[in-house]
Structure 1
Amino acid sequence: TADKVWTCALLPAKLINGGIAGMVGVTCVFPIDLAKTRLQNQRSGQQIYKNMMDCLVKTVKSEGYFGMYRGAAVNLTLVTPEKAIKLAANDFFRHTLSKDSGKLTVVKEMLAGCCAGMCQVIVTTPMEMLKIQLQDAGRLGKTIWSFMRVSAIQITRELLRTKGVTGLYRGLGATLMRDIPFSVVYFPLFAHVHQLGQHLSEEPSVPFYWSFMSGCLAGSIAAVAVSPCDVVKTRLQSLKKGANEETYSGVVDCIRKILRKEGPGAFLKGASCRALVIAPLFGIAQVVYFVGVGEFLLGYTPYNICSA
């Protein structure tokens, strides 16, 4: 059956595509992601960095070139399953929801994106939790974090020792609040923009550059749309605070305190950085995905997929 073919043949290839795409994308844009995290964690009146470029320049001066890649190892390790789950899950749910009618309505596309966003947080939450601690260490100045080489393994052990597995899933609600709307906006938007690149209705293939542009456009729009949720998530997942930086008991408390002390504009901190991170990340991801690297590595061709 078609379901058996998709599961046995295409799913492993889609997982490989998502994993490779995530690793390539993260390597390219990680310094901008680091700047985004540090800008989001800045409080009004305690600004160390003026903008993204100022943050990157100061990071290189104080921490060296590799300081821009602080936390990259954990991200590269976990982005493979994260992107694999996100992209493959969306494909799976789109396939499942289109079985009866043979086509997808916008509502079904959004539902597929929603399901994909819910699936990915299993990996996204601990990945973001660990990454943020490492990325934000340099911003905190001369604290204990500056005098010891804190690794993701050390942070994980400490969290498991003090708070158990739930410690790694701090900010889960905020992560869901960010990733579900992102996927709901991104995947339908990408699908429709990508479809515009088809020159002939009977020829489904699209030029690789159009896949890249479609991923960039849809990714940047979705990233800016959910940027306030990303700020809340970053604040909640930052364990170490600077002098006079408040703590938050949850999503509602975080939103309330940010509004009262920093104003609505604080929810857009790092929005441009996030757009610059997500746009090429998903552009690269979609190129790898649609070129079919996974299918090539597994030796699949249109013929043996159909005859599986």
Structure 2
Amino acid sequence: MSDVFLNFIAGGVGGSCTVIVGHPFDTVKVRLQTMPVPKPGEKPLFTGALDCVKQTVAKEGFFALYKGMAAPLVGVSPLFAVFFGGCAVGKYLQQTDPNQEMTFVQNAISGGLAGVFTTAVMVPGERVKCLLQVQQAGNASTGVQYNGPVDVIKKLYKQGGIASIYRGTAATLLRDIPASAAYLSVYEYLKKKFSGEGAQRTLSPGATLMAGGLAGIANWSVCIPADVLKSRLQTAPEGKYPDGIRGVFREIIREEGPKALFKGFTPVMLRAFPANAACFFGLELTLAAFRFIGVGGQPPKVEDVALANAE
């Protein structure tokens, strides 16, 4: 079970890389997903991802794109640690031999299981992040209410207790179980393809980045509709959706149509590749460092040299 601990630590490093690279794209995504529906004849708040970036930077400055980053940076590092630790648990439960190679389906099961594990860590951080991201976005229903992550937690607890802080749990599970299954299985499949055949498999830094980036695209291709529902639910005023995600879904279909379930598609896909390439590169680099110094009893692999040189 030492692999679980090593993957936990390496996942935390990968998660930090993900946040630093991907947060501006995420801010744009959330603002597009939660902007008010324009009245007939009225222009939308943002005409697209680029317009959202321009308006945000012009009105609030460049660092407004990093609003709310403290919450995911604190939350995402342990989140990815839990995710990759959970993947290792899933692998451990399915293997009959430590050297057994996992199939595509087995990796999908491991990823889905890890998606369940991460929900408890993710939901509060996502709720805080989304509320901070939509501030000063011209959303009259939200406005400027919070001075930072701690202030958000205090006010949410005062409004509705722990249930308010964990609003969006079901939506997060709906998003993350299939997305996490796609994420890990696609990465491991591409990693195997890119590393070649035979005993001397090598995975270059470029191949690691490519496999990680494409795995991120696979992840988000699966989960964008559920992510839109989650963002709407988590940024709505207290009591607006008493029946949760079902109420959000009915409102979106009634007022905006099915296309609205894919709001934020452009920034999501622009973010998916670099953020997840950075995540897996950080993960593999950390695991390579562990093997290099002999932690966990695993000998260094051929690709560890290439990763060390890239560092």
Range into which the TM-score falls when normalised by the shorter chain = 0.7 to 0.9
Q: Residue 151 of structure 2 is aligned with which of 150, 154, 160?
A: 154
- Match of residue 307 from structure 2: none
Q: Does 1:163 align with 2:160?
A: yes
Aligned-pair identity (%): 26
| 1:102-113 → structure 2 map (5 Å cutoff) | 102-113=100-111
Q: Distance in 2 between matches of 1:174 and 1:122?
A: 12
Q: Does 1:273 align with 2:261?
A: no
- Is the alpha carbon distance of 1:297 and 1:188 closer, same or farther for their aligned partners in structure 2, counting shifts above 3 Å? closer
Q: Secondary structure at the match of 2:194?
A: coil
Q: Does 1:290 align with 2:288?
A: no
Q: Distance in 2 between matches of 1:265 and 1:79?
A: 29
Larger displacement relative to structure 2 (102-111 or 264-273): 102-111
Q: Distance in 2 between matches of 1:303 and 1:15?
A: 13
| 1:200 shift after superposition | 3.8
Q: RMSD in angstroms over aligned alpha carbons?
A: 2.4
- Match of residue 28 from structure 2: 35
| 1:216 shift after superposition | 0.8
Q: Distance in 1 between matches of 2:297 and 2:110?
A: 27
Q: Secondary structure at the match of 1:139?
A: coil
Larger displacement relative to structure 2 (126-135 or 181-190): 181-190
The 8 Å contact of residues 72 and 129 in structure 2, kept in 1 or not, is answered as yes
The 8 Å contact of residues 224 and 274 in structure 1, kept in 2 or not, is answered as no
Instruction: With the length of structure 2 as denominator, give the TM-score of the two structures.
Output: 0.86
Listed as ranges, the gaps of 5+ residues in structure 2 are: 300-311
User: Which of structures 1 and 2 has the larger relative contact order (alpha carbons within 8 angstroms, sep 6+)?
Assistant: 1
| 1:108 shift after superposition | 2.1
The 8 Å contact of residues 21 and 288 in structure 1, kept in 2 or not, is answered as yes
- Is the alpha carbon distance of 1:17 and 1:237 closer, same or farther for their aligned partners in structure 2, counting shifts above 3 Å? same
| 1:68 shift after superposition | 1.1
Q: Does 1:67 align with 2:52?
A: no
Larger displacement relative to structure 2 (278-287 or 69-78): 278-287
| 1:212 shift after superposition | 0.8
The 8 Å contact of residues 109 and 188 in structure 1, kept in 2 or not, is answered as yes
- Is the alpha carbon distance of 1:204 and 1:299 closer, same or farther for their aligned partners in structure 2, counting shifts above 3 Å? closer
The 8 Å contact of residues 212 and 278 in structure 2, kept in 1 or not, is answered as yes
Q: Secondary structure at the match of 1:138?
A: coil
Q: Distance in 2 between matches of 1:297 and 1:210?
A: 20
Q: Distance in 2 between matches of 1:152 and 1:255?
A: 28
The 8 Å contact of residues 212 and 280 in structure 2, kept in 1 or not, is answered as yes
User: What one-letter code is carried by the residue in structure 2 that aligns with 1:202?
Assistant: A
Instruction: With the length of structure 1 as denominator, give the TM-score of the two structures.
Output: 0.87
Superposed CA deviations along residues 142-180 of structure 1, whole A, max 9, x for unmatched, are 78843x652110110122233222221101000000011
The 8 Å contact of residues 26 and 76 in structure 1, kept in 2 or not, is answered as yes
| 1:150-299 → structure 2 map (5 Å cutoff) | 150-240=147-237, 247=241, 249-291=243-285, 293=286, 296=289
User: What one-letter code is carried by the residue in structure 2 that aligns with 1:267?
Assistant: L
User: What one-letter code is carried by the residue in structure 2 that aligns with 1:17?
Assistant: A
Q: Secondary structure at the match of 1:140?
A: coil
| 1:59 shift after superposition | 0.6
| 1:78-117 → structure 2 map (5 Å cutoff) | 78-99=75-96, 102-117=100-115
The 8 Å contact of residues 236 and 248 in structure 1, kept in 2 or not, is answered as no
Instruction: Report the count of equivalent residues.
Output: 293
Superposed CA deviations along residues 41-75 of structure 1, whole A, max 9, x for unmatched, are 12442621111111111111111122111101111
User: What one-letter code is carried by the residue in structure 2 that aligns with 1:131?
Assistant: K
Superposed CA deviations along residues 85-132 of structure 1, whole A, max 9, x for unmatched, are 112211231233122593433332221111000001111111100000
Q: Residue 126 of structure 1 is aligned with which of 124, 127, 132?
A: 124
Q: Distance in 1 between matches of 2:139 and 2:115?
A: 35
- Is the alpha carbon distance of 1:78 and 1:267 closer, same or farther for their aligned partners in structure 2, counting shifts above 3 Å? same
The 8 Å contact of residues 23 and 66 in structure 2, kept in 1 or not, is answered as yes
